[in-house]
Structures are given as structure tokens and as C-alpha cells.
Amino acid sequence: MKHFDGLTGNVYSSPGRINLIGEHTDYNGGFVFPGAVDCGIMAEMRANGTEDTVMAYAIDLKDRVDFKLSDPKGPKASWARYIYGIAKEMQKLGVPVKGFNIAFSGDVPLGAGMSSSAAMESCFAFGLNDIFGDNKVSLWDMALAGQATEHNYCGVNCGIMDQFASVFGQAGKLMRLDCRSREFEYFPFDPKGYKLVLLNSCVKHELAGSPYNDRRRSCENVVKAIAAKHPEGKFETLRDCTWEQLDEVRAEVGEEDYKRAHFVLGEKDRVLAVCDALVAGDYETVGKKMYETHEGLSKEYEVSCEELDFLNEVAKENGVTGSRIMGGGFGGCTINLVKDELYDKFIADARAKYRAKFNRDLKVYDVVIGDGARKLC
Ligand code: GLA
């Protein structure tokens, strides 16, 4: 590694993700439908022979940070906290992580809602498991260690979708994950005659300290209220709650929390409907559900913004089959299912209208579903 001592390490890579449908359902015990993408994070890593000194270099930022694993506070730089956090979480899983050098770079856009942070976590977890852990930690435990890194070191109370997708992804396949039981199924995804394309609003989505955690709290409030009314039942997440039970607590929890939970119950049903439609090759239904999700995320869950709503409207005007906010929201991308013959006109129109309205350029990414975390060499 030229940034440190010139010695060569091993190279690991891990992708970002898309999500066809199932937003804000993961921490509610519902279903998600993500796939890994063909861009992500790549890291060269090697043990450096010290007890607990980590020397880290973020190639794209040209930023170097050294820290000790035994320092209870850890580094300040937000990118370095992912390295510190995942190393601590891997230690909790019994991996005897010692000092190491790491240099990394990425081609997954940051703050675009494509899970660049999960890509880092799973890439680093994969490397530490290989270098110090004899690869004994399971894929699931590495995904959970990534999620715990967000909770414990980065201030985001996220669900498991992003880390799951980054670890388990397979080229050409989406995955339906039941976030309550953790069972999942691969679905080959090759919609003949359609393209999946992301439009990045370039409004930076930033979940740390954002209303993301408030949304989660609203959902938990509703579950608590329902559980108090039904001491006979077991209510852990909104997945365990029915529409009737939600209506029973409407006045008590207030309109805002009610709306949030109302979206989540609907979203759970939409993922299942999309899976059936995909199996039947019915892309019109898939698209219709995507628009419904956008509407719910915008009006009920309130995680959209003017730019994303605008892009959704432009998609509708262009006859795009399905379009919606993807990921946590508050900026980032829309995901669009568009017929091949409409693609060029749609992209040109969206670019022109977005520039005219917001004086800013859109970024466009054609989705290629790629493989999950792996060792490259
Ligand atoms: C972010 C979180 C995920 C999930 C999505 C919304 O990407 O990291 O856990 O909650 O938002 O679906």
C-alpha cells in the first residue's frame, strides 16, 4: 500500500444497492426487495503487526486518519468511524482484530440513497473476517455488525436492508427479504423490454441526525399503543399489527404517527403484490405499486422533497411505468421502471426540465444488478 509502507495487502469489494420496493419496512419487521449494484467500495487491507493501531486512508478524499482500537471515543472523521465501528463490532463477534492498514476508494455515489455506508461496512467486515477471523463469521453476522456500526457509532437507527443487500447480493437477482424471520428468496430480474434507471436529484441525503430516527420512533409509538390495548397479543413491530388495530389507536397516537404507520402497513402489502406481479411478468402492476409507494413516502411518511416529487411528476408525464423515491429519502434518487422505447425521451426531458427548474444537473445511472461482498485478491 503506497500510502503507508508499500507492502501489498488483500483487496475486498462490496456493493451499494437498489431497492425495487419496500421502503421503511425493514425496521418494522416487513419485507424489502433490494438487489446489489455493480458499483461500491473497494479496500486494500493488511495486518500491520501492531496491537491496535489502525492507519486509514480515504483515497477519494485524500484524507489520512490514524487511531487506536482501544480508544473509547474513536476517530472524529465520519468515514473513519465506519472502520472503527465495524472493527469494534467484529471484535464483539469474537474476531481478534489487531492493528491494520487500510486504503479504500469507491464508485458508488455518496449521499444518493444507494447505501455507500453499508458498502463500506460490509467491505471492511469482509476484510477483517478474512484477515483476522479465519472467515468464521457468517454473512448474516457481518450484515448485522454493519447495522450495529450505524446504530452504535454513526447515529443512524437503520434497519437491515442495506447491509443485507450488500453482503448477499447476486448478479442479475433481486432478493425478497422478510425482515422479521430473516428468510429470503432470490428473484431473477430481467424485465424484457424495460430498463431500471436511477435519477439522482443530487440533493444530498444524510440520515445521521435526520428525521429518519424520528420516523422509526413514530412507528414504535404506534406499536406500543396497540400492545397496551391488546395485552393478550405479541406486538414487536408494525408487522404484527392490523389495519383495524391501527384505527383503534388513531386518536391516541395522533395524526402524524398514524400516517407514518398507515404507510408502513400499505407498503408491506405492496411488496408482496410486486413479487406476485413479477412472477407473472406483469410490469404494469409493478409500476403502479411503485407510484403508490412514492405517494405514500411523500404524503404520509413525509420523506420526500420538492426535487424528488418533481422527478416523479416528470416520469408520469413521460408515461414511465413506475417511479418512486428510493432508500431513506430526504434527497437522493428516484428509481424508474421505463419501457425501452421511452427511455431516451424520458431521460432527455427529465434532464432539461430539472435543469430549468432547479438550476442543477441530474445524474443518471442505469441499474446493473451485481454481486455482493467478496475478496478480489
Ligand atoms: C435507509 C436505511 C434502511 C432502510 C431504508 C428505507 O437506507 O439504512 O435500513 O430503512 O433507509 O427503506
Q: With a threshold of 0.95, does the pTM exceed it? A: yes
C-alpha cell at 93: 463477534
pLDDT at 102: 98
Taking only the tens place, the pLDDT of each residue in 80-123 is 999 999 999 999 999 999 999 999 999 999 888 999 999 999 99
d(CA 173, CA 59): 31
pLDDT at 5: 82
121 lines ligand 1 (CB under 6 A): no
What is the phi/psi pair of residue 274, to 5°?
Answer: -65, -40
pLDDT at 111: 84
Q: Are the C-beta atoms of 239 and 28 separated by less than 8 Å? A: yes
Q: Give, for all 377 residues of the chain, the pLDDT tens digit.
A: 677 888 889 999 999 999 999 999 999 999 999 999 999 999 999 999 999 999 999 999 999 999 999 999 999 999 999 999 999 999 999 999 999 999 999 999 988 899 999 999 999 999 999 999 999 999 999 999 999 999 999 999 999 999 999 999 999 999 999 999 999 999 999 999 999 999 999 998 777 667 899 999 999 999 999 999 999 999 999 999 999 999 999 999 999 999 999 999 999 999 999 999 999 999 999 999 999 999 999 999 999 999 999 999 999 999 999 999 999 999 999 999 999 999 999 999 999 999 999 999 999 999 999 999 999 99
Task: Indicate the average pLDDT of the chain.
Answer: 96
296 lines ligand 1 (CB under 6 A): no
pLDDT at 235: 97
pLDDT at 72: 96
Q: Are the C-beta atoms of 250 and 227 separated by less than 8 Å? A: no
Say how many Å lie between the CA of residue 33 and the centre of ligand 1: 12
- Distance separating the N- and C-terminal Cα atoms of the chain: 14
3-class DSSP assignment, residue 165? helix
Lateral strand order in the sheet of 333-339: 322-325, 333-339, 194-200, 363-366
Beta-carbon contacts of 251 under 8 Å, excluding residues fewer than 6 positions away, are none
Say how many Å lie between the CA of residue 112 and the centre of ligand 1: 12
Please state the atom number of ligand 1 nearest to the C-alpha of residue 212: 11
Q: Are the C-beta atoms of 332 and 326 separated by less than 8 Å? A: yes
Which of 19, 24, 166 to mutate to test ligand 1, by most ligand atoms within 8 A of the CB atom? Answer: 24
3-class DSSP assignment, residue 376? coil
Looking at 150-282, list the stretches that DSSP marks H as alpha helix, in order from N- to C-terminal side.
Answer: 161-168, 212-229, 243-248, 250-253, 255-279
d(CA 135, CA 112): 31
Residue in 38, 71, 141, 162 annotated catalytic = 162
d(CA 339, CA 105): 34
Taking only the tens place, the pLDDT of each residue in 21-47 is 999 999 999 999 999 999 999 999 999
Nearest one of 8, 20, 40 to 373, comparing CA atoms: 40
pLDDT at 209: 65
Using CB atoms within 10 Å of the CB of residue 186, give its burial: 0 to 12 exposed, 13 to 18 middle, 19+ buried: middle
pLDDT at 204: 83
Active-site residue, 162 included: yes
